[in-house]
Amino acid sequence: MATFVLIHGAYQGGWIWSPVAKRLRDAGHQVYAPSLDGCAERSAQVRPGITTETHAEELVELMRYEDLDDVVLVGTSSGGMVLCRVAEIARERVQRLVFADALALYSGENIRDIVSGAAIDADEVATGPAPGAMYEGLSASMEPGLARWAADRFGLHPAAVFNQPVVLDSFWDQSWNVSVTWCRQAPNPGEPHQRRCAERLGARWHELDTGHYPMLSTASELTELILEG
């Protein structure tokens, strides 16, 4: 049995991992898929000061309080940024890293340096997709009912995650057991960014012919890659 911590991306929550989490649990694994501070069902808590680093710190505390060791961290989209910081802080608890169409910024880089597109600034505290913008993109890679279910759940994300550069003191200088999965139909974060991550870390490389949300559109295939490593 392995222990997985699944880290969602921007505008999402732990809900987005439900199809993958079920498959992993059905295979006998321990799975945590929390919604990060200020996101999804925790959106009422959104406030200034929530950053990539504070998101990472709460996951480190989750692992400490739950006594989790030999953890496989899985991050998607901006959750890849959180994954890097969690791994750096809690190296002794981490067994393996999985980037699933994920951002992996160098220290000092800003998410807006890498990603362009659909987000709008709601205010100085939270940002999110334009109303009604998610369904069209989702339906391009998944059946309409699932796309509607997911589109209804996307919401705001703490703005500082987009506006502040990430802080990584030693992540890129360490050796990790890593895999990177690129989704061919997703314009962001894009192949060059994910190739950079894979080459810098000596990661195993996988590809899925789907959009940016493989945990929904190709849940079985992504689960197999997560288990495979």
Burial tier of 180 (Cβ tally within 10 Å: 0-12, 13-18, 19+)? buried
Measured CA to CA, the distance from residue 34 to residue 85 in angstroms comes to 16
Measured CA to CA, the distance from residue 189 to residue 27 in angstroms comes to 30
Question: In terms of Cα–Cα distance, which of 119, 100, 135, 125 is closest to 11?
Answer: 119
Burial tier of 221 (Cβ tally within 10 Å: 0-12, 13-18, 19+)? middle
Q: Is the dihedral of CA 209, 133, 197, 176 positive or negative?
A: negative
Of 18, 35, 43, 77, the active-site residue reads 77
- Note whether 73 and 5 are within 8 A (CB): yes
| Active-site residue flag, 179 | no
Measured CA to CA, the distance from residue 119 to residue 156 in angstroms comes to 9
- Residues with catalytic roles: 77
